[in-house]
Amino acid sequence: MMDFLLMAFLYTVSFVTISYIVIAGKYEYHRNGWIGLMRRNLLSAMYLAGSAFERCVPVSIIRGISNITNYILFTRNPCVQLLYGFLVIGGSSIYTFKVIPFFDKINAFSVVEYVFIAINVTFFWICSTKDPGAITAAHHAEYMKDYEPDGVYYSTAQECYTCKLVKPARSKHCSICDVCISRFDHHCSWVNNCIGKRNYKLFLGFIISTAILCLYTTFVVTVVFAYIVVSDGLMTMKYVDLDGRHYTASIRILTQYLLVHYPLLAILFLTVSLFGLAMSGFSLFHFYLVLTNQTTNEFCKRFFPAKHRIRLSRQPRGHGSRNKVAKRRTGTDKHDPAQVTQKITETPWQISTPYNKGVWKNIREVLIQT
Ligand SMILES: [Zn+2]
Ligand SMILES: [Zn+2]
């Protein structure tokens, strides 16, 4: 029998790998490599599977599935917020009814967990409801003053096709919220809101508090499991399977024992440890963005510069026409197109970020001034 932990590990690795291949494989950085090849093969297989599915299932069901998928992925909807609520209420309930009873034995301090939950839910709620920096006609002039166009990714006179307003530097139109957002970072399904100039630090608070909450819960449940192993003498017990084979204690046997006898605690442990690791990595990534004064949108433009290179390569040949391209892209005459091409073809680690003012000024700008 395959170990449950091994299955969970393989599932997580597969999920992360496939997600990365599907999301990143289309960009030029990977397109001609083996990740791009795997993405093409994966999409072909999915297309064939989809075609076979469509032939076997009635049209009305296909249309229903398509509508639900579009609603969840491409509209503002509370589905993921409800999932967050379910995880918080479910996790808190398991903690209250299955972990707290051990507290007089392991000498823990129960109120800490609830303080972490309260902080996390507060950040979540404010981040979900606060205006991320929606650029309307009334506030447009104010947002235009925030940042100077860098001449590479942001030009001076680019108009948003939908909002019919000149895009301020560092802004982007969110197709889900259907509005341009100042200092656009990304659209976050967890909080069902864009992350932009006005709520970015609240978003940081949310992901950091989630990481701390999950890691703390992982630690407490680990202590509870250690207490159970020691107090019940699980290390010295003999174990017998359904076929009558005898086993001595091992990590695999103890894991299976705890899964069978304490399933809710095991589910809580697996959930918070995986979320804790994921949110810690995500928080570290955003620390890097803050220290270098980048948004996720700008990082992606640097790391996956496909769109910019394609735009340049599609223009007619000749120095004159390339100059026009550069002028249109940069909105100014002082940028040499050759220099622009060279800049955007380098990796993000090799070039300095345009809004980087040094670590302390970056921190001040992101966490205090915005
Ligand atoms: Zn717009
Ligand atoms: Zn949005």
Can you give the pTM of this predicted structure?
A: 0.77
Distance 334 CA to ligand 1 centre (A): 27
Catalytic residue among 174, 188, 194, 214: 188
- Which pLDDT value is given to residue 106? 67
Longest dimension (CA), the chain: 83
| Alpha-helical regions (H) of 130-199 | 140-144
Ligand sitting nearest the alpha carbon of 166: 1
Ligand 2 ion: nearby residues, β-carbon < 5 Å: 174, 176-177, 187, 194
Q: Strand, helix or coil at 121?
A: helix
Indicate the pLDDT class of residue 108, thresholds 50, 70 and 90: low
Ligand 1 centre from 167 Cα, in Å?
A: 7
Q: What mean pLDDT comes out for the span 84-95?
A: 95
**CA distances to 135, 309, 316 from 320, in Å:** 36, 18, 9
Ligand closest to Cα of 163 equals 1
Give 360 Cα–ligand 2 centroid separation in angstroms.
Answer: 29
Distance 267 CA to ligand 2 centre (A): 32
The two beta strands, 193-195 and 186-188, are: antiparallel
249 C-alpha to ligand 2 centroid (Å):
51
pLDDT digits (tens, 9 = 90+) for 114-162: 999 999 999 999 999 999 999 999 989 999 998 888 877 787 778 999 9
Mean pLDDT taken over the chain:
82
Radius of gyration of the chain (CA): 26
Which tokens is 334 given? 């002082």
165 CA distance to ligand 1 centroid (A)?
7
Looking at all shown ligands, the one closest to residue 173's CA atom is 1
Ligand that lies nearest to the alpha carbon of residue 175, given by its number in the listed order: 2
Percent of the chain exceeding pLDDT 70 equals 84
Q: Is 300 labeled as catalytic in the residue annotation?
A: no
- What the block records as the tokens of 285 is 């990534």
Say what the pLDDT of residue 104 is: 78
pLDDT value of residue 128: 95
Q: List the Cα angle 192/194/198 in 5-degree steps.
A: 125
Whole-number Å distance, alpha carbon 193 to ligand 2 midpoint, is 5
What pLDDT digit, counting tens, does each position of 149-198 carry? 887 778 777 899 999 999 999 999 999 999 999 999 999 999 999 999 99
